Amino acid sequence: MEKGITFKPENYSPLVLAYMGDAYIELLTRAYIIGNGDCNPATLNTLAKDFVTANSQSEAVERMIPHLTEEETSVYKQGRNAKSNHSPKNAAALDYRRATGLECLFGYLFFAGRTERAAELFFIGFLQNRQV
- 4 has pLDDT over 80: no
Q: Is 112 exposed, middle or buried (0-12, 13-18, 19+ CB in 10 A)?
A: middle
16-58 residue pLDDT tens: 999 999 999 999 999 998 887 777 888 888 888 888 889 999 9
CATH of domain 18-127: 1.10.1520.10
- pLDDT score, position 52: 87
- pLDDT score, position 93: 85
55-109 residue pLDDT tens: 999 999 999 999 999 999 999 999 999 987 776 677 788 899 999 999 999 999 9
pTM for the model stands at 0.88
Active site residues: 22
- pLDDT score, position 23: 96
* Amino acid (1-letter code) at residue 117: R
